[in-house]
Amino acid sequence: MTLRLGTRGSALAMAQSNTVAEAVRQRTGRPVELVEIVTPGDRSSAPIQRLGVGVFVSALRDALLANEIDFAVHSYKDLPTAPAKGLVVAAVPQREDPRDALVARAGMTLNELPEGARIGTGALRRIAQLNALGRRLRPEPVRGNVDSRLRKLAEGQFDAIVLARAGMARLGRAAEATEVLDPLLMLPAPAQGALAVECREDDVELRKLLSALDDEDTRAAITAERALLAELEAGCSAPIAALAEVAEGDEGPEIYLRGAVFSPDGGFALRLSRTGTLADAAEVGRALARDLREEGADNALGVQHDPHP
């Protein structure tokens, strides 16, 4: 019986879904067909923070619950932190490179960009971190898919743009990045570069089948990052960043989680970290969120400073 995989119609969503579909075919022998679902986010040109968290996933989830599709593939960072009733993330495949990438005219790096350079990005997290550099750069809003953003750069609308490297890699365009940004300069969004394979909670057979795609280290890292986000009660459009990495510790694998909170203008920047076991991934995230809150994270979301006194 053919499995129906729901996906958005963008080139990136289709690339991600085709990768998962092929993995399902190879590991289970089951045929998979892609079913395109149009979401409100695909029909709007408004900034992501105005559209709200989950705008790209609601239609896919509705189709799942209505039994119009059997499973769906999401960019994990697009999912609201609250669980969806009746649905479950059955697999978190191995993560792509979670870092951000700069694509700049004339092959420039971030340090080589001149004062006043126009940098296209719609993410408050990126805008805040660019402002925090104190370089008098000019972040400007940009929407659209990876191809259209790169085209706007080529047309001279911007001096540079910042994109998730994972998306560029999945579209075969990673080589166009002029710099992959060090997380010390630009900490990524929680769950950036990861995929969530979601199905109905009561579909036990499919859940077991899809679990073959699950990567333990990636799931633990994402669990820690999203637990931090949920504890801070903020959506993915807030100026909050997190990155968890799994490394071998003295007593087995450990999670190293970095988290950061910024005021939108970059005048306030708070960065902290914690470590823990994979089994305690969620608690590591919650504990780091509490640490951030104790150091003033809640105030930062509403604080405004003059970045150019």
Q: Among 70, 78, 100, 203, which one carries the catalytic annotation?
A: 78
Q: What share of the chain is helix, strand, coil (3-state, %, to 5)?
A: 35, 25, 40
Which neighbouring-strand residues pair with 72? 6, 198
- CA dist 185 and 129 (Å) reads 7
Q: Indicate if 78 belongs to the active site.
A: yes
Q: What is the largest CA-CA distance in the chain?
A: 65
User: Strand 3-7 to strand 179-180: parallel, antiparallel, or no bridges (unpaired)?
Assistant: unpaired
Both tokens assigned to 27:
């590991």
User: Strand 71-75 to strand 3-7: parallel, antiparallel, or no bridges (unpaired)?
Assistant: parallel
- Residue 69 class from Cβ within 10 Å (0-12 exposed, 13-18 middle, 19+ buried)? buried
- The dihedral through the CA atoms of 110, 112, 115, 121 has a sign that is negative
Residue 160 C-beta-side C-alpha neighbours within 13 Å: 31
The residue with tokens 């990438």 is 101
Strand order in the sheet with 32-36: 32-36, 3-7, 71-75, 195-200, 87-91
- CA dist 193 and 241 (Å) reads 13
In SS3 terms, 176-236 reads as HCCEECCCCCCCCCCCCCCEEEEEECCCHHHHHHHHHHCCHHHHHHHHHHHHHHHHCCCCC
Question: Annotated catalytic sites, by residue?
Answer: 78
